[in-house]
Chain A
């Protein structure tokens, strides 16, 4: 094993270099900049193995990625916050066009006013765009998940977003086990998907179609994405055999007798995991895959442990409704025999979650398990 101290952003870039891509098209934006810098450095040293295209905007980054993927290239891009919002039209287009693309989004609050803290609303608000989304809680997970995302995306011909919190992961330096280059390339293998456009065979693609035809395409896309948990588990089984690590679509810690679970996605999941011994009869589940939403895995987990209550850590807020993960969870458990009560701890603004805050949120009068929504900012 070759441990190196690196930031979450560097881990994402190293994963891309280990995979070996044909093209990176990306535009720097805080807090994602180190990904672009690291990949540009790889190219400068002749170690990227593909082409790095400096583009004029995030919209161009994804448009360029789309064009290359349509031509059969393995591509990667990365952005954050306003950059992701600026890509929005192309985000839809890429999934409709069924091209495999891996994109990292580093969470950062979308303005106004300008803000840098890691509200997850930037990526969660892209939930209906037809991209898969996987949330990571640390740099090792980032490296491994970015590698795996290429296989997932290419198998299903759907683009995949790998997401992690700005600052708490992107700018945190920690020990990461970096896979050997040859071993990584052998594990991933060359891209096997067909090129949609070929210069020698000119064609007009994605031309105007009827609603009926579109409906078939949308259904196909939806049903394909529902296969993602199964495919992801297979990839992780192979990954474990090669690299000795694996992840689920959800990962959980349920102490004996626990009837209460804290659900979190991203960096806060690790704070929850750390704090668990301080909380009585409480378990946790890290939501890794957000799209498709792992309904079956969650319901099975709740049923197997007779879970009565889930406190959701939502580092976001859908104005007029509340935390997005809590809404999704409510919808997912609807129809269960004994669905757990869902409570929401809202960390909108990307505010910091400390172990003390979490303990306070769950133990004080009017705690998160007694009220429907608890605002994290009231616990500061």
Chain B
């Protein structure tokens, strides 16, 4: 089979992960890959767990199934159940997590697994607040996470992400672009600390 990269995004209703998935897919497409973004729908309400998927590859043909063994797991909200979020991560895969305030690099993440995988963190919540990206008390972290996803995967350049954000984001465009750039630049790999 042709090489294919699979992402699974975990967040909460209202965090914009479905929009983020389509923005990322478009940026990946602009950078020369075929890409698809899709989401699981169900209880569409603010705060409820939401899952979205992205597939990218050089071959236009891809399976039309959910993603159970992703190369990348992206967690927009660290208060989600990590066992659920981490299920099925590929050996040697990558976890990217919004670490919130604790971006010290000493983050303790109980992933429930000690297998071989990389962890990247970004303080998406902090960056979102800094750029005044929030709906009420609910920080909108999706563009920060997009920047970080592009940086760690190498599948979407910041330029392409910005192009795609401009097409799909209408509110606070400048702040969202700055947030994506800060996510792109500040995401970092951290040590495993399994409790």
- Give the interface of A toward B (CB within 8 A): 3, 5, 30-31, 116, 137-138, 165, 167-169, 171-175, 267-268, 270-271, 273-275, 277-278, 352-355
| Cα A71 to Cα B51 with chains together (Å) | 46
Name B53's closest neighbour in chain A (CB-CB). A172
- Chain A residues whose CB sits within 8 angstroms of the CB of B22 once the complex forms: 5, 173
* In contact, A173 and B37 (Cβ under 8 angstroms): yes
- Chain B residues whose CB sits within 8 angstroms of the CB of A116 once the complex forms: 41-42
Is B68's beta carbon under 8 Å from chain A? yes
Q: A5-B26, A174-B36, A354-B66 are in contact. List 12 more A-B contacts (CB 8 A).
A: A3-B29, A5-B22, A5-B37, A165-B64, A172-B64, A173-B21, A173-B25, A175-B35, A270-B63, A274-B62, A353-B65, A354-B63
Is B135's beta carbon under 8 Å from chain A? no
Interface residue from A169, A171, A173, A275 paired with B41 (Cβ < 8 Å): A171
- Chain A residues whose CB sits within 8 angstroms of the CB of B63 once the complex forms: 270-271, 274-275, 354-355
* In contact, A174 and B66 (Cβ under 8 angstroms): no
Is B40's beta carbon under 8 Å from chain A? yes
| Cα A116 to Cα B36 with chains together (Å) | 21
Can you identify 27 A-B contacts, CB atoms within 8 angstroms? A3-B29, A5-B26, A5-B35, A30-B41, A31-B41, A116-B41, A137-B64, A138-B64, A165-B64, A167-B41, A169-B64, A171-B38, A171-B39, A171-B41, A172-B37, A172-B64, A173-B21, A173-B37, A174-B25, A174-B35, A271-B63, A274-B61, A275-B63, A352-B65, A354-B63, A355-B63, A355-B65
Within 8 A of A (CB), among B118-142: none
* In contact, A268 and B41 (Cβ under 8 angstroms): no
Is B171's beta carbon under 8 Å from chain A? no
Once A173-B36, A174-B35 are accepted as A-B contacts, the answer to whether A270 and B61 lie under 8 Å apart by CB is yes
- Chain A residues whose CB sits within 8 angstroms of the CB of B40 once the complex forms: 167
Residue from the set A5, A116, A268, A355 with the largest chain B CB neighbour count within 10 Å: A5
Name A273's closest neighbour in chain B (CB-CB). B61
Once A167-B38, A168-B38, A174-B36 are accepted as A-B contacts, the answer to whether A271 and B65 lie under 8 Å apart by CB is yes
Min CB distance, B6 to chain A, in Å? 11
Name A166's closest neighbour in chain B (CB-CB). B41
- Chain B residues whose CB sits within 8 angstroms of the CB of A275 once the complex forms: 63
- Chain B residues whose CB sits within 8 angstroms of the CB of A278 once the complex forms: 1
Once A274-B1, A278-B1, A354-B66 are accepted as A-B contacts, the answer to whether A172 and B61 lie under 8 Å apart by CB is no
The SS class assigned to the A binding surface is mixed
Residue from the set B25, B42, B65 with the largest chain A CB neighbour count within 10 Å: B65
Min CB distance, B105 to chain A, in Å? 35
Interface residue from A30, A168, A173, A175 paired with B64 (Cβ < 8 Å): A168
Is B117's beta carbon under 8 Å from chain A? no
| Cα A157 to Cα B66 with chains together (Å) | 39
| Cα A275 to Cα B64 with chains together (Å) | 11
Interface residue from A167, A270, A277 paired with B1 (Cβ < 8 Å): A277
* In contact, A270 and B25 (Cβ under 8 angstroms): no
Name B62's closest neighbour in chain A (CB-CB). A274
- Chain B residues whose CB sits within 8 angstroms of the CB of A173 once the complex forms: 21-22, 25-26, 36-38
- Chain B residues whose CB sits within 8 angstroms of the CB of A165 once the complex forms: 64
Is B34's beta carbon under 8 Å from chain A? yes
- Chain B residues whose CB sits within 8 angstroms of the CB of A172 once the complex forms: 36-38, 64
- Chain A residues whose CB sits within 8 angstroms of the CB of B25 once the complex forms: 5, 173-174
Name A139's closest neighbour in chain B (CB-CB). B36
Min CB distance, B37 to chain A, in Å? 4
- Chain A residues whose CB sits within 8 angstroms of the CB of B65 once the complex forms: 168, 271, 352-355
- Chain B residues whose CB sits within 8 angstroms of the CB of A277 once the complex forms: 1
- Chain B residues whose CB sits within 8 angstroms of the CB of A30 once the complex forms: 41
Name A31's closest neighbour in chain B (CB-CB). B41
Interface string of B26-67 (1 = CB under 8 A from A): 100100001111111110000000000000000011111110
* In contact, B66 and A352 (Cβ under 8 angstroms): yes
- Chain A residues whose CB sits within 8 angstroms of the CB of B61 once the complex forms: 270, 273-274
Name B37's closest neighbour in chain A (CB-CB). A173
- Chain A residues whose CB sits within 8 angstroms of the CB of B41 once the complex forms: 30-31, 116, 167, 171
- Chain A residues whose CB sits within 8 angstroms of the CB of B21 once the complex forms: 173
Lowest 9 A-B CB distances belong to which pairs?
A: A172-B38, A267-B64, A354-B65, A271-B63, A5-B26, A173-B22, A173-B37, A274-B63, A174-B36
Min CB distance, B165 to chain A, in Å? 13
